Amino acid sequence: TDTAGKVGDSDKDAEEKKMEKLLQRREKRQEALTASQYAMAIKMNMSQNQKPIDLNLHSIITGLEHTGTTITGRLVMNAPCLVGATETGFLLADSPQDIGDVYPWYSWNIDDGKDTDKKKMMYLLSPGAYEKMKAARNFSEMYYILRENSHLFNNLNDKYDDGRECEKPTRVVDKTPRYVRPQYLEHILIKTPGVPVVILKKPFEELRIDLPRQAYDEVFANVDKMMKKYPGRIKMLYYEKFMENPEKVMGEVFEFLGLTWKDEYLKMTGLKQKFSVYPEVAKQIGAWEFVPGGHSPEGSTVFH
């Protein structure tokens, strides 16, 4: 028994040392990535708290699951020359090299040849495209490769208000609820210097996820902290105000993002035009018109 116990302790020590080395490598990669991103921001002559024109990633939409992140993302994507998958998730990785470890987002967005027609709202990336993304030096470069290789940024019928075609590939809106969690949010702000972030907040009593009150409070205490540490980077969108007056609230969100709001976007006019190249998807989008409280999980498999 003593021998077995010693062997067990030895295996445990070896696992702990292995994990410690892995964490150290990740920290070194993160430090290098952070330095690279800030060097890029400085080269652009802009501080981390300003909004540089990132030609790849336009904006980030996040918030706890089932709090309105999908409807918000879809409304933003009505604006010309912007689009994104139902969820992206790649910024959860420590570096572009690690995006293959980000599940289920990695598998959601790969083109495995199955049910392709039902996945037109995802990136549908080939294995080769993923390998190119993993080889990116930083996340901005990764988004550039994503734009070059996904049908969403190259095949849609995307036009300016005056009828001119958007230059392809268009820019990315990254909507991912998980980003708001305290263990991720600041890392994501660092990885994407200057990119504006919209965060949804729904009253705790109305949540449709199993989350303790303490965890909920920790999420938004951290959001408050990040808003003070990175002034100008984050826009809070309060769910109840959104439902009461969507035109006013989305007008404020669009202004924050440097976009022009149109009330007609509540009927998904811009998104329907973009996806007119995929008639079945455009037909589905026709059923996504904004209805206060009507996009809950029970009412739709699309919005959350």
> What pLDDT band is residue 245 in, cutting at 50, 70 and 90?
very high
Question: Does 164 have pLDDT greater than 70?
Answer: yes
Tokens linked to 45? 């002559």
Among the ranges given (172-181, 249-258, 277-286), the one the predictor scored with the smallest mean pLDDT: 277-286
> For the segment 258-293, what is each residue's pLDDT rounded down to a tens digit?
999 999 999 999 999 999 999 989 888 888 888 775
Averaged pLDDT score across all residues of the chain: 85
> For the segment 10-69, what is each residue's pLDDT rounded down to a tens digit?
655 665 565 555 555 544 554 444 445 444 443 443 334 444 457 899 999 999 999 999
Which parts of the chain are beta strand (E)? 57-63, 82-83, 171-175, 197-201, 234-238
| pLDDT at residue 174 in the model | 98
| pLDDT at residue 116 in the model | 81
For the segment 118-146, the average pLDDT, to the nearest whole number, is 95
Q: Which residues contact 95 (CB under 8 A, 6 or more apart)?
A: 29, 30, 33
For the segment 72-82, the average pLDDT, to the nearest whole number, is 97
Percent of the chain having pLDDT more than 70?
79
Q: Give the pairing of strands 171-175 and 82-83.
A: parallel
Percent of the chain having pLDDT more than 90?
70
| pLDDT at residue 296 in the model | 42
| pLDDT at residue 12 in the model | 53
- d(CA 275, CA 286) in angstroms, rounded, equals 11
